[in-house]
Amino acid sequence: MHRRAFTLIELLITIAIMALLIGILLPALAAARKTARSAVCLSSQRQTAIGMHSYAGDHKEIVIPSYNMSDTSGSNPCDGWAPILDRDAYVPASVQTKASVFYCPETIDVEGLATGQTGTDPLLPKGWMDWPNLRTGVKNSPVLIPDKGFTKIIRVSYWINADNPIGSQVDSIVPDSFFTGSVGYGPAKNEPKFIRHTRLAAFKRPASLIATADGVYAGRQRDNKVGTTNSRIGYRHPGAGGGAANVAFADGHASIVTARDFPRGLPQNPSSAASAEATAASKAENSFAKPTVYADPDKTFAPF
């Protein structure tokens, strides 16, 4: 009797088929892993939104501040919304860890606001920032505030939709402009106003109002588009227009918003002729039934 065995050609064909199958399967597996990480990110933002609602329920309907401060420069330590949720036992966190509800699994491991801005580097908005934080010149440095119960440095890779004019004295303050604000900032130049807590009653479209999103820090709503200098929105997930960001809304739900559909705030001087086009675009992007960065879009855009 003769024993049968694979010929060299048969072995090569088998190896080629296996290589082909692996080549087909690997991209599918990679896509599945990205989808799974995006789902974790979406769930995390929903958890933080629920924590914020619990905070408001326990504090006479006031919205959690992006952070508390006592001047206009940020020369004193600022606590931060994530450390507040952790300290007050609404959403627990660990010290400077990636395994945290405040950290998206798709985060680029880079300090996004190390020099105070993201500049033109497209990776920095996809990075992280440590809180509590102290602004020293143009640098942001993590600090503890033990006398107020902040004994952890928490790594956060989400942006919060806040009135955030830290670093300079603005002419005026418009209360209840965004989801929240840097409570205690002030006074403004033209009037002795300070940024105060926003209340849930200020939200006219809570199901459309963006609370948090993939990204770093807060503010600069006018720079939300991909490729814009100093953008703080981190489009970490696949989507139209250059990616997508997972977003938590003021009513507590979470969903994904593409870079194409993510709304911008008004330009710095919306009434100027040079800003007319940007003002019109902002108004359209924040219109009814679309995601918005404004607590009351109708009131904000009424003069335009």
Amino acid present at 231: S
For residue 38, the surrounding DSSP H or E stretch is: helix 8-58
Q: Three-state DSSP class for 239?
A: coil
| Assigned token pair, 268 | 């710095």
Report yes or no: 124 and 190 within 8 Å, Cβ to Cβ: no
Residue 298: the pLDDT is: 95
pTM of the predicted protein model? 0.89
Q: How far apart are CA 155 and CA 190, in angstroms?
A: 36
- Which tokens sit at 158? 């989400």
Residue 94: CB atoms within 10 A of its CB come to 15
Q: Does the pLDDT value for residue 6 go beyond 70?
A: no
Considering only CA atoms, which of 135, 300, 140, 291 is closest in space to residue 213? 291
- In this predicted structure, which of 4-18, 34-48, 223-237, 245-259 has the lowest mean pLDDT? 4-18
Q: Per this entry, what is the length of the chain? A: 304
- Is 245 within 8 Å of 257 (Cβ atoms)? yes
Residue 16 has which token pair? 């080629």
Strands 129-131, 154-156: parallel, antiparallel or unpaired by DSSP?
Answer: antiparallel
Judge whether residue 2 has pLDDT over 60: no
Find the helix or strand (DSSP H, E) in which 44 lies: helix 8-58
**Does residue 70 register a pLDDT over 80?**
yes
At residue 75, does pLDDT exceed 60? Answer: yes
Note the pLDDT of residue 116: 87
What is residue 219's three-state secondary structure? coil
pLDDT classification of 26: cutoffs 50, 70, 90: low
The pLDDT value given to residue 255: 96
Instruction: Over range 127-152, report the average pLDDT.
Output: 91
Residue 23 pLDDT more than 80? no
Identify the pLDDT of residue 269: 87
List the 162-163 sheet strands across, edge first: 67-68, 180-183, 162-163
Low-confidence winner among 11-25, 59-73, 96-110, 282-296 (lowest mean pLDDT): 11-25
- Whether the CB-CB separation of 241 and 256 falls below 8 Å is answered with no
Element (H, E) at 162: strand 162-163
Asked if 164 and 182 touch (Cβ cutoff 8 Å), the reply is yes
Residue 125 has pLDDT above 80, yes or no: yes
Structure tokens at 214: 């993939």
What average pLDDT does range 135-140 have in this prediction? 78
Q: What's the pLDDT at 1?
A: 54
pLDDT exceeds 90 at position 21? no
Is pLDDT at 15 greater than 90 in this prediction?
no
Task: Please name which of 49, 42, 39, 44 lies closest in space to residue 250, comparing C-alpha atoms.
Answer: 49
Terminal alpha carbon distance of the chain:
94
- β-sheet bridge partners, residue 142: 133
Share of the chain above pLDDT 90, in %: 73
- Per the prediction, the chain carries an average pLDDT of 91
Using one digit for the tens of pLDDT, what is the confidence trace for 202-259?
999 999 999 999 999 999 999 999 999 999 999 999 999 999 999 999 999 999 999 9
Tens of pLDDT along 141-191? 899 999 999 999 999 999 999 999 998 899 999 999 999 999 999 999 988
d(CA 75, CA 271): 32
